[in-house]
Every structure is written in C-alpha cells, then in structure tokens.
Structure 1
Amino acid sequence: MDTAADYVRNLLLDVLSTEEALACDAVLLSGGLDTSIASEGLKLHITCRGDSKLRTAITLTIDPKQNGLVISNNLFIHEPQDVIYARKIAHRLCLEHHILTPTLDELLAGEALDMCVRVLGTFDGMELRNAVVIATSLIQAKKLGCTRILTGDGADELFAGYSFMHSMSDNDLQRYTQNMIKTMSFCAIPLAAELGIKVWSPFLDPRVIEYATSDQGGSKSIKVGEFSGSVHGKLVLRKAFPEVISAGRKKEPIECGSGTTVLPKLAELLVSDPAFEQEKQEALEKYDLVVRDKEHLLYFRRFRKAVLDSPEALVRMRRYGPDTCPDCKFRLKDGSSFCNVCGLYPARPISK
C-alpha cells in the first residue's frame, strides 16, 4: 500500500472508532464505495476497539417487475445496481437488511416526496430523484426505531468522485474542492432532523476534510487514477480499502443505483401536453417562475402548496432582491452557480 493510502486508511479507521461512529445503529446502504467503506470499516475493523451498535441496513431499489407501466414502455435503461452490492455487504456484516421496493407511483404520491419538497425547499428534479430515496429510507429507519444513521456523505466532494472533476488540472481541482466545501450540503441531514433522528458520515470529520484539502491530500494524483483496470475518482479511498466489496465499483448517482432515474420519462406519460402548457403558463403568470419540463411540473405542484402558498415559508427562503435566480427569483447560495430551489444551472455567470 502506498503512503497516502496507508495514511487515509489509518485516519478513517480512527474516525470510525469514535463514539459518534460506534453509536450508529443503521446504515443507508447504497452499496457504493463510500457506504461500503463506512459500514465495512466500522463493523469489520473497529469491533476490537469498541462495541459497534450497527445492526441494520436499509436499501431502496425500484423493482421493474413491480412497475408494469415502466416495463411496457421500456423506460428502464438498465437494472438498478445498488441492491446487488448492498446484499453482499449486508451478508458479510451480518446486518438485518431491509430492501425497500416502492413503485414509482408510490414514490411520486408518498409522504417522502412531500417531505423532501417542504424540508429542502426545492422542486429541482435532480435533487428530488436522489432525495426521495434518502427520505423513504429514513422514514423506514424511524419506523424500525433507529436513532443514528451512518452514511457515506462527503466522499465524492472531497475525493473527486464526480466524473466532471477528473478532467480538471491539479490546481483547478484543488480550488474547486476548496470552494465545494463552502457550499456543499447533504439532504440526509435536514431530512433526518425532521424525523427526529441523526445522520453521521466519517468523511465529514474535520480531520478528513483537512487532509483532502491539504497540499498533499488535495493532489489530483492522489484522487484520480487507475484502479482494477479502470480510471476512477476517489482513488486513494479505493487503495486504502481494497478489500471492501465495492472497492472497484464505478460511481453512480443515487438515482441510477436505485432506479429513480426513470422518473423524468414516467412524468412524460403522466402529464399531457395540454396540461403541461397550461400549468407552465400559469406558473409564469401567477408565481413568476419558469417550469421547464413535465417532471419539473410534478414537483412544482407540491412546491406551490408547501412554499409559494405559505407566507412563513416564503419569508424563510427569501425571494426577490439581489442575487436571485432568473428562473424562480429565489436567493442563490453564496458562491454557487447552481440554484438549489429550481435547479437552474448556471443561475449566475460562472467565474473562470
């Protein structure tokens, strides 16, 4: 093992031996590299230092067999992969594994989506396709009596997990990572708080953040490179934990791994063209915002009730004034070119 990988392994194992880690009683197990390291590191390598309470794993996957509408219209590009890896990890760690298989209609009509729109204050499709998976899993965790949930949040942001980061120069990647730390947010934190439970990720420990942004740990050569015959991000994490089940798994967004990536195509079937054109115009004339597509409209309907028709919510979220999104007129986050309310990008000129 090289020096950087050895350092990161020891660092994360140390973080996973803290009281905060050992108190986690469930994991939102996507089966990706990040949750693989978090859960396998906690259960396999730390039990000798303390008694881990981790007993439960929760994975959400869309089962094509339960969605006849989707099958008949050939909406699935590929089978969701999260559950395949998650099963192996849960079996290795002897975790009680709860596999959630809601239909797409249930996701679109259920309490999880309403909670996401209300708590996160968004009708952005990309955000909600991911967040509804997290929310549904957290609701199940609450029902099971879990109180502290382990996640893999932060690894992609800190260790170049996103493919668009791979082509950056070393200096650009380091600057981008530094800026991302200032603006990054994770939906699991406020959604869990809404349910009265907590989430925790080893990658958000200050020591891990400090290393990932240091002159040594921030280097592109540490984060991006070949592993098991393919070029990956999070290279140092893969080298640090080559024995975990998902060490060589390709990065997939939550929506791809779980199967919610088909929601935009489903929306095309659920909303007629005349209804879309009419409601799009009403949104512009009555609420002064742009609805861009049919999936956007499905989420906007909930956002309208939860936010636009709620004076309290509007005051909290701050609309109009300086530095607002041109499409929805809500304030933009400092330093961000992305509107976290409607999903417009770029919502302001991108500095070079």
Structure 2
Amino acid sequence: MEPDACLSLALDLMRAVGDELRSRGCDTILFSGGIDTSFVALSAVKAGLRPRLITVLFPGSRDEAYVDLVASRLGLELVKVRPTIEEAMRCADEALTAIETIDPIEVISASAVCLGLAKARGLGSKCVATGDGGDELFIGYDFLLDADPGRLSEWLEKVIRGAFFNSVPMGSRLEVRVYLPLYSQRAKEIALRASPGCTVRPVRGRPFGKYLLRLALEAHGLVEVAWRPKDPITRGSGVELLLDSMRRLITTEEAVSLARATSIAVPSYPHAYLLKRRLTLGLSLPPRHKEGSSCPVCGRQLHEDHCPFCGAYVGKGAVSVYSDELYRVTGPLRAP
C-alpha cells in the first residue's frame, strides 16, 4: 500500500478509538508517551475529549521527556506517579494475587500498571484506557519485523483469537474499569486491512512496526514520538529496577531449596523471590501438566508455545526465558 492509503487507515482507526473512548466514558489514559498511548491520546483529542494522562516514572525512566512533550502538544493534564520501591513491591504482591505467574517481567510490568491504576482510582477516574493491543495487532515487536507475510498473517490470526493483557486482571483487582481501544473489534478489523503493507515498513533504511500509527502521529505534529524506538513498559517506566530489589531479597540457598521442593527450575533470583512470595501469601501454584506439551522449565501447561507461569517461550527446539546465574544451579533440579 502507498503511504496515503496507510494514513487513511490510521485515520479510520483514530476515529474508531475516539468513538470507543466516548461511548465507554473513558476519562483517563494510562500513558507512557510511546506510539500506542500517544495514538490513543491523539485520537481522544481529535474526538473532542480531554482525558487526564497518568504516567508512572521511576529513576532512570526513558518515558518522561516523551510524556512531557505529548501532554504539552495536546494540551492535556499530566499526572506523574513517582513511587517508592516499597510501593512498587506492594503492587508486585497485587500482581501475584491477580495473575497466576512467577514471571518477573510480567510481574514488574503489572506492578507499573497497578501503580497507575491505583492513582486513577484515587483521582476518581471512571474509565482508564490503555495502549494494549497496539503491539499485537499492528506489529510492534522487534522479533516480527523481518517476518514474511505468511508468518505475519499467522501471528495476526492468533492474537485476534485471544491475547493476555495484565491491565485487565489488574483493573479487576483494583476495581478500576479498564478499556483497551486498540484491541476492540473495530481495531481488529482495521488491522486485517492494514497487514502487512501498513504495519511493517522500511523507513530510512530500517524496518519499523506500527507504521500506520507512526504516520498518523507524524501527520499531527508528534514527529519526535512517531519514530521513537520501542521501549516496553518495564524499561520505559524504569520499573525494571525492581528486579535488583528482588535479587537482594532471596539467597542462593533459599532459591535452591525452593527449586527442590517444587520441582521448578527457577531460572533467576527474581523468579525464586516471586515463587517464595506466592507461597508466603498463600497463593496456589498451577498443577504440573502431564498431558501434551508442558513447559521444560517449570512443568506447567504451555499456551501457544508460551508458559504464562514462568514466562518461558518454547519453539523450534529452543527455550527462551528470563534467567541469570542462578539457572546454572537450578536447571538440573527440575523433576521429569
């Protein structure tokens, strides 16, 4: 497709997002200054809405300059949440309660979401919109940027059938109404029309995902954000520093003992901390999966080659999981 056709699709999506925000009464956006949440904020403004933006920022956050820029350009109220480590760790406990997992990346991401939603609740927000679904439907992940059209079609079919977004269980846990306008039925229909020519496209010699969203941001004066590299919420908000906190809260001896007791080859100190914390909080562990495909790391059931409990991805004979030096010790401890 030509760029003009892609921009036309983006404007269709913008109208769809604006309509959804108005009909749902969303008055707040959980905001990172990235492609997806900036597109949602721009769509709201173009629909005549004036949502409040809430952003979570830890020391070292990469998001702050972008959230300041977008809020200023769009003339929207911006609320910055600067949590303490203690507050973030309490939200990590909330994430463990809401989601059956010990995946550190999932938990710290959900912790950042929890902090933003808690602020929204305190401010009396009626509905909080997120940017969830943008990466999935409009191809924002780096590992898909060199995929062929057939692989992209398979991916899109899979995520349209279903995808997990931690903002949904976190919203339920905190009793905050959360809505995902970039994962609505209309967004899915536009994604099917856009793929692959308007989702992944080379620009200045390198491939960019979410091409149509980027075009729309650039066309509306947000060029600095439009061609921003992707930063996941963990890096953008700076919440990844919680991983170091978790490492300091568990010893190697404790981690090995947990691995032996549970037959889970905890691949990192943060995994071990979160496993210990689940047990301390009296939260159940999912049963071991004995039929069909099971996770080679923790023995739990795989879903679409992914283990939601430990976070491992399994495919083409390889296993990818967040790990550190602990895995050299615990790897052999998993029971068959």
- Tell whether the structures are fold-level matches, with TM greater than 0.5: yes
Q: Give the match for residue 175 of structure 2.
A: 196
Q: Which moved more, 1:98-107 or 1:223-232?
A: 223-232
**Please, what is the CA RMSD of the aligned residues?**
2.4
Contact 1:121 1:303 in 2 (8 A): no
Q: Give the match for residue 94 of structure 1.
A: 75
Q: Give yes or no for the alignment of 1:321 onto 2:290.
A: yes
Q: Give the match for residue 312 of structure 2.
A: 344
CA deviation profile, 1:229-280 (whole Å, cap 9, x unmatched)? 7531101111233225322211111111111233334444x157xx22x222
Q: Give the match for residue 217 of structure 2.
A: 241
> How do residues 137-156 of structure 1 correspond to structure 2 at under 5 angstroms?
137-156=116-135
Q: Work out the CA distance in 2 between the residues paired with 1:297 and 1:85.
A: 35
> How do residues 27-106 of structure 1 correspond to structure 2 at under 5 angstroms?
27-43=29-45, 45-47=46-48, 52=49, 54-63=50-59, 79-106=60-87
Q: Which runs of 5+ in 1 are unaligned?
A: 64-78
> How do residues 1-352 of structure 1 correspond to structure 2 at under 5 angstroms?
2-18=4-20, 20=22, 23-43=25-45, 45-47=46-48, 52=49, 54-63=50-59, 79-108=60-89, 110=90, 112-213=91-192, 216-219=193-196, 221-227=197-203, 231-242=207-218, 243=220, 245=222, 246-268=225-247, 270-271=248-249, 275-276=251-252, 278-306=253-281, 309-310=282-283, 313-314=284-285, 317-322=286-291, 323-333=293-303, 336-346=304-314
TM-score normalised by the chain length of structure 2: 0.84
Kindly state the Cα deviation for residue 104 of structure 1 after the two structures are TM-superposed: 3.3
**Structure 1: which amino acid aligns with 2:263?**
D
Contact 2:307 2:313 in 1 (8 A): yes
Contact 2:21 2:44 in 1 (8 A): no
Change (3 A) 1:102 1:147: same
Q: Percent identity?
A: 27
User: Per the alignment, in what secondary structure is the counterpart of residue 178 of structure 2?
Assistant: strand
Kindly state the Cα deviation for residue 180 of structure 1 after the two structures are TM-superposed: 2.9
Q: Size of the alignment, in residue pairs?
A: 312
Contact 1:21 1:200 in 2 (8 A): no
Q: Give the match for residue 329 of structure 2.
A: none
Q: Work out the CA distance in 1 between the residues paired with 2:267 and 2:13.
A: 45
Q: Which runs of 5+ in 2 are unaligned?
A: 319-336
Change (3 A) 1:142 1:225: same
Kindly state the Cα deviation for residue 7 of structure 1 after the two structures are TM-superposed: 2.4
Contact 1:21 1:42 in 2 (8 A): no
CA deviation profile, 1:206-247 (whole Å, cap 9, x unmatched)? 12212313xx4222x321224477531101111233225322
Kindly state the Cα deviation for residue 25 of structure 1 after the two structures are TM-superposed: 1.1
Q: Work out the CA distance in 2 between the residues paired with 1:59 and 1:288.
A: 39
Q: Give the match for residue 321 of structure 2.
A: none
Q: Which moved more, 1:81-90 or 1:159-168?
A: 81-90
Q: Work out the CA distance in 2 between the residues paired with 1:18 and 1:123.
A: 34
TM-score normalised by the chain length of structure 1: 0.81
Q: Work out the CA distance in 2 between the residues paired with 1:56 and 1:148.
A: 11
